Structure formats: structure tokens, C-alpha cells
Structure 1
Amino acid sequence: MGKVFISAGHGGFEGTLRDPGAIASSTTEAEELIATRDLIVTELRSRGIAVESPDDDLSLVGTIAWINARASRQDIALEIHMDAASDPSARGTSAYYIANNGDRKRQAEMLINSIIRRVPELPSRGSQPDTAAAVGRLGFCRDVIPPSMLVELGFLTNPQDLRLIQTRRRDLAIGLADGLQAWLREVTEITLETKPVGETPTVTTPPAPIIYPEATIDLNGQIYEEKAIIVSGNAYIPIDLVDRLNIDVAQAPKVRRLRVKNVIYVQAIALRDYNLSVSWEPKTRTVFVRSILKFCSGQIDRIMGHGHTTEIQMLMFLKHNNDDALAQYKDIANLYREEATIEGVNYDIAFCQMCVETGFLRFGGDVKPSQNNFAGLGAVGSGAQGPSFPDQRTGVRAQIQHLKAYASTAPLVQSLVDPRFRFVTRGIAPLVSQLTGRWAADPDYDKKIMATLRRLYESAGLL
């Protein structure tokens, strides 16, 4: 049987600074995770399961490299985190897996169920593809070589979740150990089945050639002549197809590649970062690659321009992410389309920025729903709520005008309502990536907006 790698997220050095993770209630995410990780390690070892844990001083990149240097095909890897939200009522545990991997999705659900069986008071938020994460991908799910997942144990910012994690830590550790043991057994059995019949896997036996199952590639509705391969439940497509799509991954170190029978294959889900839609149909063993809209680099993230979605598509996307939003904001999509079109701003980008800033109109931070401030204008934390606007349309208009101030030197079409318009150096940030460090201090601000935009386009069938 293989071994388990388990990492406590946060606590290591990111650059020259130690990263404590979220901070709340006189504790840090790193403190809670390390204490929980230690109990999981002890529990697994008591069952005779081999466990390795990277040093707590390592960064995320260092942790992944440490695991990859020591892993075999029979191993699994888990990183634990705690969530945080501006809304203190948000709570529950969830497991993230690499998108489009049905095996990993089922195993993620197995982990969550094992936790809930031991700590039923902890709500389940279920399994989630890593594309649903705020930045659109999770390094621990994508870049670790053995099968891997990331579990959010609960919300550090929710008193009930934090109390459960602190007072029921051993039960939580036993639940995770139960799930990890079942997952490890399953992975080990699958790995052994790939060896030639009659061969007994021993340390001294030379590794047998690995035969990867093939899958059909559907490219924009047409069957592609070459086949994909399936590796640990993940689809890989031949580099020739990647070249045909005009995607240059040669300088992208995070894109996983394999050489099989002298052909280079690329991890299909990684192409989503190049504005393609990638999905997997296990029944027909088909990888679907869609590039319906020809978004070029510098266009999909250009603030001045035209949106592509319909009002209904925007509303359905909002409802999918917050079922209660339309009760109070039934006209919000129409407002974004109208106000942004008047000023020449891409309403899809403005709408997705609002989704990021407000948590899909849940709010819960310094800005209150009654303020109609949909993009955190003037809200700089520590209780600073920023300006209020008399109605939803005016609040949307102010956001659009502020975006135009950053992205263009053209004059406004409508009367000025943005109180901070005059403070912006006009035209300094025509791309979403250039808003980071200007509109918001969050170093992942642009990544969160772009991840939301890709999800919107995928839900609308445009990618």
C-alpha cells in the first residue's frame, strides 16, 4: 500500500514573510491546522499507514515540490485549510478536487462524508471542483503529482465552526483518517490493476510499462483524429492539438505534461487558463474542448469593450451562486448591460467584479446592501463603509464610471456620480490585471475577477 502526504495549509514562508492564513478570535488558521494535522498523522500511524508531512516552514510551491520529489503512483496527498468570509454566518466543511475528474469528485465526497459521520454538527458544503475556488484553480489540486485534494475544515470566522474544530479536534481527525484510509486503499487497488496479469508488485520488480486508457476528443463539435489519454482520472491531450489551438504552453511551467510513446500530452484542464472550455463525459469517454468565442490575450480582460452574455445568462449565473439574490436584485443584470454599454465598458467584466466584491450580492463586510455600493468604492477596511448611493442604478453607474476612469481617457457620457473619479490617473489600467494594487490590495484581485468571468462564459456556453 502507498502512503499519505498531509500538509497543513499556511504557516510557511511566502517570500520573506510567514503566512499565518486567516486570523480571527485570537487564533490563526495556521495554528488550528497544524494542531489538527498532527492528530491526523498520529491516528493514521496508529493504523499502520505510512504518513509523511512537509515542513511547516515551506511555502505552497515548496510544499508541492517536496511531495512530488517523494511520491509514487500509489500515494495520495491532502492539504487542510480553514475558510474565512466577511459574512460571519458562513460555515461548513468542503473538499476541492481537480475539475473534470469524476474519480476525485467521488473521493472528495467520501472524505466529506467521513468527517460528517464523526462531527455531524458541522454542516457539509459538499465537494467542489477547483474551478469554483475564488482564483479559478488550486495549486494543491493541480500541481501535485499523486492524486490530491484540499479540504476546508470549516470557517475560522464562524464561532460555531471554530468551536467545533477546537473542541472536537480528535473526532475531526478520526473522520479524516477514515476517509483517507478508504481513499488510499482505492488508489492502491487501481494502481495494482494496471500492472501485467500475474506480476507481483515488489520493491525489486522493475516497473512495468504503464498503459494509459484512451479517450475521444470532441473539438467544437467535431471528433479530433488523435486520442486523449486518461492519467489518474485526468484527461491529457496531444501537444499537436494544443499547437493547433494557437496556445503556446512552452513557457508555462505549471502546465503538466507527459511523454507517452514519444508523444507529448498536456493536462487538458490547464487549457482553461487560455480561455477554452474543457469538460469530460465519463460514459462516452469523451473530452470536450470548446473555443467558440475567439478571445485573444488582451481582449477577454480588456475593460473597455462589449459584453457577450444576455441578461438571462447573467441572472442564471447569479442565481446559481446565490439563490436568494434575485429577490432583491431582479434588475441588476439589466442595469449592468445598460449602464456599461452607454460608457463603452465591458458589462461582463463589471458584473463579475460586482460578484467578487459583494460575494454574489451576499455582502457581509464593511459595505451594507442598503448602500448600493457594488464595488467597494471608498471602502478600505477597518469599518470604513465607503459612499452610499440612492438606488441600484446609481450605484452601478458609479462603478462603471470608476472602471472607465481607470481604463480610458475618453470623457464620460452621463453626469458624474462616482465620488472618487477625480482621484484616478485616467487610462492607467486598461486591463483587469492592472486593477490589482489599484482598485484593491488583494494580490489575487484580478485572478478572482477573471476566474468568475470564465465561469460566467462557461455557464452561458460561450467558452
Structure 2
Amino acid sequence: MKTIVIDPGHGGSDSGATYRGYDEKDFNLKIALEVRDFLQVNYEANILMTRTKDRAVPLDGRTDFANSNNADFFISIHNNAAGGSGFESFIFNGKVPRQTKRNQDIIHQNLATDTLTKYNVKDRGQKRANFHVLRETEMSALLLEVLFIDDEENLAVLNNQAFIEDAARAIASGTALALELPEKQVSERLYKVNAGSFRNKPNAEKRAQFLNSKGIQPTIVSADVSGTLYYRIQAGAFSIKEKAEKRVTELKKAGISDAFIITEDKELSAPPESIKKITILGETCLSAWQMDAFSRSINPESPLLGYYYKKFGKEYGIRADIAYAQAILETNYFRFTGLVQKGQNNYAGIGATGPGNPGASFQSPEEGVLAHIQHLFAYASTEGLPYEYPLVDPRFTLVKQGSALTWTDLNGKWAVPGTSYGQNILDVYRRMLSFTIGDLKEQR
């Protein structure tokens, strides 16, 4: 299990930057605690904090703490000041391992892609500096400057709790992606906050726009209830009940009097031997819209690819819903926060081997899905390709056919997968199943 040290900047008598009665140290701690909570709830990792309250910690105390605990990653959270606005990240300006730069790329872009755009915050870029906490740490280290405390517009954003939560979630999920943290395989209870259900999509979109204007991020989830399509407004999903209750209170203050909590028990555990036996070839369990609904419950802008995965999965005998889960893992719910960019239509990271080589590009989403399915077919089967479709996977002939019959057999074979790549795909798939089962229960 990897150890991560989260370092809220300043503290105690060291207030950091100050402006109009606000102290940097308080924002640092608030964001850092949210990052810690998100990682602890969702991922297998040992999370340590240099401080959890308002107390002074010397710089060498922070780095000594991380070094003595043999941490795998150190992340320091700050706010900027003294002229400017926006977000920037730093790594040491001397020699650093390639992994350090990769961590910066992924975490920075994970925050920049969605959160900065949503709150109209400037991206000041990825930088290097000779900061003590970057220089004296023996592990990969990153320092974030999350907005300027002395900029009026930035300060207003920092005082928005929705931004604090969104930024922390982006930092945490980016960290998990960069470090390849396995998602927790334990039973947990999820508290979904329902803020309305509509038959008419424009009415659902109007409700979503209203919630956005109140600083509450909604998700529109479609559901087929007895042949009728409904659009549900989900205003958050929480592992901690108190946070869900707080969101309901916020909704009622905003005028949504009928908001309520839906409790869902998620069974995510599976015996290791069972995991090893799940083959790449086989029947698809989920429908196209169920795949898309799950992805859009996390990223409302996800492309509707379920139809293509279902179509080509059937033609090639591939478990299309698990292939879809792999695409989610590779693209971070189609946010494309890694090497591959959205316009490449490359949902499997085919050919993406490192900086400067973002991999293959395909002419359309349909062709991108076909290439993904063909690449899986190369690993899972020794037979020839079905003749109905042309070969579009540029690396098909580079794969030893039949060398990976199960999803965990992809460990060590797919591009830079780590030793738990197949398990991580199946973790996403179990979440897809749990989401679908929970949604069907709600329809009863």
C-alpha cells in the first residue's frame, strides 16, 4: 500500500498570506482535509498529514516527517499572493525522477480540465522552483498554489465551499490516477441526494442550471421507468451521511423543498480467485444506456459510446461492458487528463507510451471503439478477425494473440499498466454494476 503525505501549508503563528482578515493557512487546511477524506473513502492508501489543525510545523519538520515514513508521494497545498490570479503547480527545479513530472502532469491537468474552467479560474501552468519541501523530500513531491488569496475574484471562489470540494476531489482523483491507487474493494454505503425528477429533459436542464447558479454541482441521470424515460437531478453522492444531509439543507435553503437522500449499499468486494477467472471474451451484461448512465453520473459530458461498445463487443465476442470500464479507467471518465487528448478518439490508450508520444488517433468515436475492441481481441483470441470490419487497430499485429485470456492477464502487457491494471478495470466494472442495481432499485 502506498503512503501519501498531505502537507497543508503554514499553520499556527505562521498564517501565510493574509488579506481582508483571511489567512492562507485556513484555506490550505480546509482543502487538504477534503483531499484526505476523498482518498481515504475511495482508495487503498496510507494517508498521513503534516498537520490536521491550526498549529505551526517547521519546514524541516514536514520533510523529515515524510522521509521518516518512507512516503511514496508528498503533496503540499498552498494559496498564492502578491499580484496575480489563478492556479499553478511546482516540482523541484533540479534533477527529478520521470515519475515526478508525470505526477505533476496528471494532477495539474485533472484540476485544470474541469474545475478551473467551471469557476473561470486562470491556469498559470506547470512550473519548477527550489522550495524546501520539494528539494528536501526523498520521494516524488508536488506543491500546489490554489488561487491568489489577495485577488478579489479568486478570494470569492476560495470562499465557495463547492469550489473547495471540487478542487479537492480533482486533486485527490488526480493523485490516485498518477499513483495507480486501487479503488477500495469493501462494502460501503453511498448517500445520493435527489433534487428532482422530470420527464421533460429541458425542465431537468433548467433545474440543473438553477442549482449551478447556487454553487451546487448537479448531474442529470437518465432512467427508464416502466417504459418512460425520466431525467433525475443528482446533487451529490456521499460516503458520509452528514455531508449528504448538509447538501439537502443547502438545497432546501435554495428553494428545493422536496430534496431527499437515497441510501445505496454498494457491494464492491470480490474474492481474488474470482477476479482472476473473469475472461475478456464472454457475454455483456449491461445495456448501452446503462454504461453511458454510469459514466455520466461522474462526468456529465461523457460521450455516448455504449452503443458502439455493445455493437462491436457482440461482433467480436468481447465483454463490452468491462471494455467500457477499461475505457473509463484509461480516460478518467472521458476527461482525458493523461497523454491522450479527446480529439484522438483513442479510448484505450493504444500506442500512448510517454511524453511526446500520445498514441494513435482515430477518425471517429465509432472507429476508436472498434480499435479498442480489436486490440482486446488480439490479446484474448487466437482466431482471425471477423471479416465485417476493417482492421483499424495499428498495434494489432504487435500483440501475441491469445496471450491474455482474462482481464488480470493484462497486467504487465497493456501499456504501462502496473501490477493491478486488470483489478482496477474490474473495480470500475463493479461500480458500474452497483450503480445500475441501485438505479433499478430506485425505480421500484
**If each structure's helix is expressed as a fraction of its own residues, which one has the higher value?**
2
TM-score range, shorter-chain basis?
0.3 to 0.5
Q: Which has the larger radius of gyration?
A: 1
Structure 1 length-normalised TM: 0.43
